[in-house]
Structure formats: structure tokens, C-alpha cells
Amino acid sequence: MFELPLVRNTKRVRTVRKLRYQYINTLYQEYRKVQSFANANSTLPTPENSAAEEASDGDHNSADATSRRRRRKRRLLSVLGHAETDTELSDMEAEEGSHEADQADSEKEFFTRHEKPQETFEVWNTDRQKAVPMNTATLSYDTCKQIEKHAQKRVSAGMAHISKNANFHFQAMKDGYETVAETPESHHLVHIAQLNELLHTNIMKGKWDTAYRCFSLLIRLPGIDIRSVWGPGARILRELASNDKGLGTSEEFLGWLSGIFSSRSNFNQTMNFLMDPVFRCGSKTHAAKFVVAWLWELLFASCPDGTEHPSAEDASNRKLSHLLERLSEMVLIPPYMEDPEVWFIFAVCHLVSADQLSQRFISTKLRTSELERDISRNQVTQHITNAHMCIRTCEAKKEEFSFPRRIIEEQLACFEKRLYQNSGESTASDLGSGFELDNSPENLDTQNVLGPGMSPMIDEEENFFGSAEQVHFGFDSDSST
């Protein structure tokens, strides 16, 4: 019932796949032919028609310039009142000629019309501005049957010697049915499927020991791609590593993955892939998901939940500075230099550092000398500047990345104020008097009112944007309030 972490590439699968793409391609060609005839014959070219056609051309087949030229010519002819029989014949011939080539790799041909996304499993287009005119003509039964008949005639040539099973699949598919997933037959596959099932069910039940066993067995079996199951692996290790010191932590595991599987390769759109790159691997244009997850996990680990600041943070400080170093190297090379999320992590790293350092200024426990305070004040300022810089870079990247910018800016401003709260209380008072009161615990109950508010972030977001007593810093908000 779960996804197998390997490619099942039997002969039948290949045959059906090939047939499917072949059939789809021929259908597509036939449909275009019919559509262009219909457009040419029924209506004169109107701006709307052309726009729709251009849009669909741009979508599907920008490379296919010749056919477009041919179509335009045909339309002109039809407008002039010429018959289209001879052009049709030549058309047919031309397509028959290319038909041999189609058979070579129909899948490749299919994907010349479609982008293979790397970030998501599907191509998402969420911009309503990009809407195209509605296709108002309905498809008639006759046209559809005609298309299908032609397409089938052309495909059936290659179908003489396919197996019964493949034929069954194809026939069902052609008629709009769907086939049920087959259960694996070979012992090897059955073994993998069982282990995989156990792995997932045990994760779901929270039996981490058993899940760990399944995982460690599964990744040792031949044919298994560990990149397909790194998520469960990281999850298991996160649970187990805290108790079992012998095991590596999930950060180490993800770090290992990031080290082993490089992101330096190019993602070749024209290649036929059997597995998706979305969660599995990275390329020069796509930061691998496990690398990003690793960075996040490192960040979480350097500032874990539940620790009381600011004492006993030497270890986490060290981790944080390591992470900062690593990130500063990573953002110099693709794909990370173009990934806004990595820049955002970078910014948050600086934010966390600034927070932890500036803690010393408001904490009453740590008494430090003036010199040390000066040094750390400089550090905090630097972190804050860096954070601002990273945020700006993050926003400048072409992929739109949205995050609550206002909250982060506010936080940074708060940290900055902490530095000067002892020396100049008057300057800080207009921005958030809660921070001074913070020192006396009996005032804690009033802080929800006074503080510019980290706590409302958990409960209600409105306070960030809507409350009247909010201090606005003049940054343009990321959301309209």
C-alpha cells in the first residue's frame, strides 16, 4: 500500500509506458490537425482566436515552428477559399515521415511539450493573471472518435507482437479505464514491499525500534535508493538518537546524505527519468530537499526547544557558528546561491545568534565587564546587519519567497534595543517598554499588553497587523492588513 523506494521497470511496464506515450502523441497530433481545420473553416481569425492559439502554442510546442507556419498558411488559404486537400495530403506524408522517429522515443517527444518540474511534483501556475481565454467550443463525439480512430490506426502497427497483458492494459487505458496496481510477484520485490510496509506502519504507530530495524534492512537491499526513504530515516533517528548514544542523529544522517549525493549535476529536461527529483535529489537549479532539511535541522538543534536561555548554551553556540560558517560557504555556489530558502535560513541563523547574544544584556544573572559588553554589542550589531542583508537577498531572488517580514524586522529591532536598554532607557521606551519590565518577574502578567509581542504570534496574528498599540517600523509589510 506504500510507495516502494525503487523503480519497477519490467518489460510490461516499459511496453505499456511506451505505448501510452505513443498513443498520446498521435492523439495530440490528430487533435491539433482537427482543431486547426476547425478553426480555419468555421471562423475567421479573430484577435481572441489568435490569442488563444498563440497561448496554447506557447504552452505546448514553441519549438514546433514549422507546423505553426504550415497551419497559418493553411488558414490563409482557407480564408482565400482554396481547397485544403493537397495540403492535407502533404501534411499526412510529413507526419508519417516523422512517425518513425516518434517510435524511437515517444516519451521524450511528449516531454518536449511539458516541463519536468523539480521543486514540486506538478507544474503549478497560481498566478491568476496568466489565465487564457476560455475554450468555448465543445468537442463533439464525431471529432473525438475520428481522432481516436486515426491515432489507433497509427499505433496499432507497433502493437502486433506485444503481450496479452500489455495489450489489455493498453485497451483499458485507451477506453478511459484505469488499471489496478499490481502486487509485486518476485520474491525480492515482495520482501521489499513487506519491509516497506512495516517501516511505514511502525513509524505511524510510533514503534521506533522496529521501524529502525526495517529501515536499516531496507536500505541494505539491492536496488533500493536511500534517497527515496530519507524522510522516514530522519524521523526515526530523531526519535531514537536522543536515547541511544550509539546511533547517529538525524542531523548527521542528513549531513551524510548531503555530502554523498551532490547537487552539482544538471537536471536534463530531455532525459527520461523513472523517478522524480522532487524529494529525492538536487541539481544545479534545485537545492535537494534533504540539504534544506538538514540546514533546518541543524538550526533547530543549535537552538533546541525547551532550553532555558541563556545559560548552558556553549554547545549550541558552537553549533550555530558552525552552521553560519557552512552557510556562508554554501551561498556562494549554485543551487544554494539562488535558493531563497537557504538565504532565509541564513537570515534566521543571524537572527538566532543576535537573539542569544543580546540575551546577555537583559539578563541579570550574567555580570560582564564593559569590554566584553562592547565586544558582544559589536557582534550583535553585525549579526543584525547580516540578517537584514540576507533578507534583502532572499527577497531579491527570482522565485518568490514569502515570509512574515514584519515579524522578523520587529524581532531584529527588539534585539537592537536590548543592547542599549541599560544605558538609554528613554530611547527604548517608545518601542517596547516590556523589555525593561522583563527583569522583574512580577510584571510578567502585564507583558501581553505591553510587549510588542512575540506571544501573539502563537495565538493570533491579528495583533501583529491590526492592533492599535502596535509599533510600526515603517517597513513595507509583506501582507496587506
Partner 1 sequence: MERIQILPFKKNVGVQLGVGIRNSALYLPSTSLQGHKGENWLYGGDTGDQQIPILELDVKSQEPLVDFRSETQDLTNATDDTGTTHESDITSDLSDSEFNSSRIYQFGPEALGSSDLDSPGLINLFRNVNLSSEPGYEAKSDTPIAAQEYVPRNVLNSVEGSGVRANNAGVQGNSHDYWNPAQASDGSKPPLHSIDPTDLESVAIGLVHTTADLRMNKDARHVISYSSGDTGSVLNLALLMQSDAPGLCCSSELLSINLNSRVKNIKFPTLSPSFGRSSDTLAALTENGLTVLRIKSIDDHTGKLAAEAPISLGFSSLEDFPFADVSFNPWDINEFAIIDVKGNWCIGTRIKRGARESRLRLSSNKRGTLYDPEELSSWRRLEWGSEYFRLIAVSRGRLVEIDLNNRSQLEIIQAKSWSSLRDYKRIDEQFSLITTSKEVIFVNLRSSNIERILSWKHDLNPDDTTLKSEVCRIVKSSDKEHFFVFIYSRSTTQVWLHFFYRNGSAFQSTGDSSLLEFGPLQGGFSTLIISQLDHSKTVSSEENSDHVHLFAAARDATSNVIWKYAILAREFRSKVTGGQPTMTLLNEDVSDVQVGSKQDFVGLHPFLPIPSAGHDMTKDIEAFQQYGYQISEGMNKQLGQWTIGLDGESLSNQCKSVALDDLATPIGYIESMEEFGSLLQQFKDHYKDHDVWFADMPTLSTALLKEPVVDLGVLYNKLLQCWDFGVEGEECITRDILKGIVMKNTGICSVSALSSMITLAYEQLGQESQNLIDVWDKPDPIEEDNTVPQQYSSLFQNHSQASQIPPSIKSSQHSPPKARKLRGRSPRVSSQSVSQPVPSTSNASGNTPHTLKTHASNVLPDTMTPAFTLSSASQHVPTLSQSQNSQRQRKKKKRLGGFG
Q: Which of residues 364-383 bind partner 1 (CB under 8 A)?
A: none
Contacts (CB under 8 A) with partner 1, residues 57-76: 59
φ, ψ for residue 207 (rounded to 5)?
-90, 85
**Maximum distance among all Cα pairs of the chain, rounded to whole angstroms:** 95
Q: Is the dihedral of CA 64, 66, 68, 74 positive or negative?
A: negative
Cell numbers describing residue 71: 497551419
Q: Is 43 in the site for partner 1 (CB under 8 A)?
A: no
- Evaluate whether 84 touches 39 at the Cβ level (below 8 Å): no
Residue 31 binds to partner 1 (criterion: CB under 8 A): yes
Which range binds partner 1 by CB under 8 A, 36-44, 89-97, 286-294, 320-328?
A: 286-294
Q: From CA 47, how far away is CA 38, in angstroms rounded?
A: 16
Under rule CB under 8 A, which residues in 332-351 are in contact with partner 1? 340-341, 344, 348, 351
Residue with smaller CB distance to partner 1, 77 or 168: 168
For residue 286, list its beta bridge partners.
Answer: 283
Alpha helices in 5-64 (DSSP H): 11-42, 47-60
CB 196 within 8 A of CB 218: yes
Task: Please identify, using beta-carbon distances, which residue of 40 and 234 lies nearer to partner 1.
Answer: 234
Residue 221 is a binding residue for partner 1 (CB under 8 A): yes
Q: How far is the CB of 347 from partner 1 (least distance, A)?
A: 10
Cα–Cα distance for residue pair 384/351, rounded to 1 Å: 7
Q: Which stretch binds partner 1 (CB under 8 A): 37-45, 63-71, 197-205, 258-266?
A: 197-205
Residue of 6, 233, 283, 342 that binds partner 1 (CB under 8 A): 233
Q: Is the dihedral of CA 6, 9, 12, 16 positive or negative?
A: positive
Asked whether the beta carbons of 344 and 401 are under 8 A apart, the reply is yes
In the complex, what is the shortest distance from the CB of residue 81 to partner 1, in angstroms, rounded to a whole number?
A: 28
**Measured from the CB atom, is 77 or 338 closer to partner 1?**
338
Among 81, 161, 270, 308, binds partner 1 (CB under 8 A): 308
Nearer to partner 1 (CB atom), residue 40 or residue 408? 408
**204 counts as binding partner 1 under rule CB under 8 A:** yes
Q: How far apart are CA 54 and CA 52, in angstroms?
A: 5
- 78 touches partner 1 by CB under 8 A: no
* Beta carbon of residue 401, minimum distance to partner 1 (angstroms, whole number): 5
Instruction: Restricting to residues 99-158, name those near partner 1 by CB under 8 A.
Output: 110-111, 114-117, 119-141, 144, 147
Q: Which of 37, 49, 146, 168 binds partner 1 (CB under 8 A)?
A: 168
Q: Does 245 bind partner 1 (CB under 8 A)?
A: no
CA–CA gap between residue 126 and residue 449 (Å, rounded): 39
Give residues 412-451 in contact with partner 1 (rule: CB under 8 A).
414-415, 434-435, 438, 447-448, 451
Cis-peptide into 456, omega within 30 deg: no
The Cβ of residue 434 has, within 10 Å, a number of other Cβ atoms equal to 19
**Binding residues for partner 1, total number by CB under 8 A:** 143
Contact region for partner 1 (CB under 8 A) — 37-45, 235-243, 258-266, 467-475? Answer: 235-243
Nearer to partner 1, 245 or 367 (CB): 245
Under 8 Å between Cβ of 428 and 436: yes
Q: Pick from 87, 201, 285, 382: which binds partner 1 (CB under 8 A)? A: 201
Q: How far is the CB of 255 from partner 1 (least distance, A)?
A: 14
Other CB atoms within 10 Å distance of the CB of residue 240: 18
Residue 335: asked if its preceding bond is cis (omega within 30°), the reply is yes
